[in-house]
Structure 1
Amino acid sequence: MEDLVLGLDTFGDIPADDSGAPVSHAAAIRQVVEEAVLADELGVDIIAVGEHHRPEYSISTPETVLAGIASRTSRIKLASGVTVLSSDDPVRVFQRFATVDAISHGRAQTILGRGSFTESFPLFGYDLSDYDLLFEEKLELFVKLLAEEPVTWSGTTRAALDNAEVFPKTESGRLDTWVGVGGSPQSLVRTARHGLPLMLAIIGGSPQRFEPHIDLYRRAAEQFGTHPHPVGMHSPGFVADTDEEAKELYYPSYKVIRDRIGALRGWPPVRRAEFDAEVEHGSMYIGAPETVARKIARTITALGVGRFDMIYSAGDQPASARMRTVELFGAKVAPMVRDILAG
């Protein structure tokens, strides 16, 4: 697959220092920048950083971190993963990412989403009862902004615009924009209607269960007469020198963060047997480079996706272990995936 894109994603989870204590939010952000610099040096296609407003994560403004990464890299694409458009202003989101695009010579990419957590809604004064309406209206406005022409728009979630010019413009004339979707059929159809590329969050269970979602997106694009872009996906993963080392480094931190999230959502605590089954048969890509590469290649082939991003951080894994997983992904996993798919 000549145009296959292989990337790395992080939410800026707070890593542990050498003594096992969590580092500061500031140190965690600087660590993400170092990981991105290494990924750039090793030829990874994309680094995506997510937006959260919780104590476990350091990144609340992806575009600010991406601007810092832009100043120290030369080729890697710089994406959000995701930008929570529902609780932000579309005009300001466009302006911020157009600015990153300028700083990085055209490498910015925004992935827009509704957000899997809801902390940003009360934080910025939005009502959760408007969850769907906020994203629907704001995505509609953002798509208009992508034309980089005067915009006239009205809705109920922000002030109307009348022939408004928005600056800065991008040099290419269009900001690279995707929509991140967790699996909602309405979201898939909406993404196709707007003619935007789709990024699927596949974070549990068999990846093959998302085949109908991809098919729905493509059929909807055909019916709307929009362009059915290559579909991307992101899933959790971790790479170490051996399968056992990867699992032992990943599981303790993963269990803490998974159980914390599960408590909020009414899930029972995760058990080691469930984790091992997910690594073996589900949507976790954890192991030695060859193990991870083969599993990624199988998934890409099964789903026919054109992009795979691995979420390489979960909880408080030491910074050194994260740097190692970035190194192994860029130096070994990504080349192996391409070689396997080349046949």
Structure 2
Amino acid sequence: MIELGVGMFGDLQINPTTGKIQPAAQRMHEIIEEVKLMDEVGLDFFGMGEHHREDYAVASPEIVLAAAATVTKHIKLGSAVSVLSSADPVKLFQDFSTVDLISDGRAEIMAGRGSFIESFPLFGYDLKDYADLFEEKLDLLVRLNKQDTITWSGRFRKPLINQPVFPLPKHNSLPIWVAVGGTTSSVIRAGKMGLPVMFAIIGGNPENFQPLFEVYRQAWDDNGHDPEDFQVGVHMHAFFGENGQEVADKYYPIYAGQMNRIGASRGWPPYQRMQYDFGRSMHGHLIVGDVNQSIDKILHIIELFGLTRFSAHMDVGSPDHKDMMKAVELYGTKIAPKVREALNK
């Protein structure tokens, strides 16, 4: 069974002429309205990212998800991602357990290293410990999810000795996903631990990721995990409209603007229209177009990798709220039903 949903980072609109940034409060209210619509149109899950920058609205996904839990009934609510390396796994588990109780059992954690590094100095961590922090904290988070009382020790925090942790989630544990980019060691670790993986495919040809999917499946099988529990997803930049060319043309300056803002700090060359157009092709990483184009591309990606989950990252560059609402409506009422129908034949 495929799950179809949405991921967001909470991008704020930035006026290209004045540089003025949209108020975070406005965007947060819009996000809640968008998630409410996702639930109403039958999408399966929503993921909210964590960032600590002035151009993103959300530093604490769990707070936004708790608010979304009060206006939704069915949709799963998770992070996308929680920056585990700079978080306290105990507090993270407690926070998401609280969201789980508010939402009547719909909360998930997606643990990752994040797209940016601002959280490390903010919370007092050294970037030289980047990999070790994530590995140790993932171990603790998984243990917390399996044990009511925990005894644990590591390098980066005080030990826990016969420590109960409250509150517990509705079913005593939470779904924990691991978000990965292109790092083979991360994929193998998740497979060994029996954790579902979300691959971020945000550039290039998705087919280049096939070896990583195979490595993950092999690690899962080699470590004796139940094939029935196997879950894998992809997160891809997406936007939907009534007319394919119109939505592509309208979204291009928004998307390119965000790529150039990020690229300026990472030494990327200016983003070009030909990159965007290739990205929208069947061999690219973008799903930007009309209903039929989007159905075809999503089905192609699902079948290419044998996915159980597809996440459309729909707010890159922060499109207008009205356009976001229309894209969510099309996704839930026209695209998702056809994708499910095709896969169930």
Listed as ranges, the gaps of 5+ residues in structure 1 are: none
> Is contact 1:200–1:232 with CA below 8 Å preserved after alignment?
yes
Q: How does 1:118-137 map to 2 (within 5 A)?
A: 118-137=117-136
What does residue 250 of structure 1 align with? 251
1:259 aligned to 2:260? yes
**CA–CA separation in structure 1 for the residues paired with 2:190 and 2:87:** 19
Aligned counterpart in structure 2 of residue 311 of structure 1, from 313, 316, 319:
313
Note the alpha carbon deviations across 1:207-229, whole angstroms, 9 max, x for none: 11111111101111222223452
**CA–CA separation in structure 2 for the residues paired with 1:131 and 1:16:** 30
Any idea what SS the aligned residue of 2:51 has?
Answer: coil
**CA–CA separation in structure 2 for the residues paired with 1:119 and 1:77:** 28
**CA–CA separation in structure 2 for the residues paired with 1:151 and 1:200:** 30
**CA–CA separation in structure 2 for the residues paired with 1:203 and 1:122:** 26
**CA–CA separation in structure 1 for the residues paired with 2:266 and 2:80:** 21
* Structure 1 residue 263: Cα displacement: 1.6
Amino acid at match of 1:242: N
What does residue 39 of structure 1 align with? 38
* Structure 1 residue 317: Cα displacement: 1.6
Q: How does 1:216-235 map to 2 (within 5 A)?
A: 216-227=215-226, 229-235=230-236
Any idea what SS the aligned residue of 2:234 has?
Answer: strand
> Is contact 1:257–1:314 with CA below 8 Å preserved after alignment?
yes
**CA–CA separation in structure 2 for the residues paired with 1:122 and 1:210:** 32
Structure 2 vs 1, CA of residues 227 and 15 (structure 1 numbering), >3 Å: closer, same or farther? farther
> Is contact 1:15–1:319 with CA below 8 Å preserved after alignment?
no
**CA–CA separation in structure 2 for the residues paired with 1:316 and 1:214:** 30
**CA–CA separation in structure 1 for the residues paired with 2:226 and 2:143:** 16
Amino acid at match of 1:254: Y
Aligned counterpart in structure 1 of residue 5 of structure 2, from 7, 10, 13:
7
What does residue 56 of structure 1 align with? 55
What does residue 155 of structure 2 align with? 156
More divergent stretch after superposition (219-228 vs 231-240): 219-228
**CA–CA separation in structure 2 for the residues paired with 1:154 and 1:16:** 44
* Structure 1 residue 23: Cα displacement: 2.7
Amino acid at match of 1:104: S
Q: How does 1:44-193 map to 2 (within 5 A)?
A: 44-193=43-192
What does residue 213 of structure 2 align with? 214
Any idea what SS the aligned residue of 1:146 has?
Answer: helix
**CA–CA separation in structure 1 for the residues paired with 2:186 and 2:161:** 28
**CA–CA separation in structure 2 for the residues paired with 1:58 and 1:219:** 38
Structure 1 length-normalised TM = 0.96
> Is contact 1:249–1:317 with CA below 8 Å preserved after alignment?
no
What does residue 278 of structure 1 align with? 279
Q: CA RMSD in A?
A: 1.5
Note the alpha carbon deviations across 1:86-137, whole angstroms, 9 max, x for none: 0000000000000000000000011000112101001111000000010010
> Is contact 1:71–1:104 with CA below 8 Å preserved after alignment?
yes
Note the alpha carbon deviations across 1:168-225, whole angstroms, 9 max, x for none: 0122121111100112011001111211111111111121111111110111122222
What does residue 324 of structure 2 align with? 322
Tell me the matched-pair count.
340
**CA–CA separation in structure 2 for the residues paired with 1:313 and 1:291:** 19
* Structure 1 residue 16: Cα displacement: 6.8
Q: How does 1:14-25 map to 2 (within 5 A)?
A: 14-15=12-13, 22-25=21-24
* Structure 1 residue 341: Cα displacement: 2.3
More divergent stretch after superposition (37-46 vs 221-230): 221-230
> Is contact 1:38–1:326 with CA below 8 Å preserved after alignment?
yes
Moved over 3 A (4+): 19-22
1:300 aligned to 2:320? no
1:236 aligned to 2:237? yes
* Structure 1 residue 30: Cα displacement: 0.9
Amino acid at match of 2:9: F
Amino acid at match of 1:12: G
* Structure 1 residue 320: Cα displacement: 0.9
Amino acid at match of 1:264: S
* Structure 1 residue 314: Cα displacement: 1.2
Amino acid at match of 1:283: H
**CA–CA separation in structure 2 for the residues paired with 1:148 and 1:72:** 31
Any idea what SS the aligned residue of 2:146 has?
Answer: coil
**CA–CA separation in structure 2 for the residues paired with 1:78 and 1:66:** 6
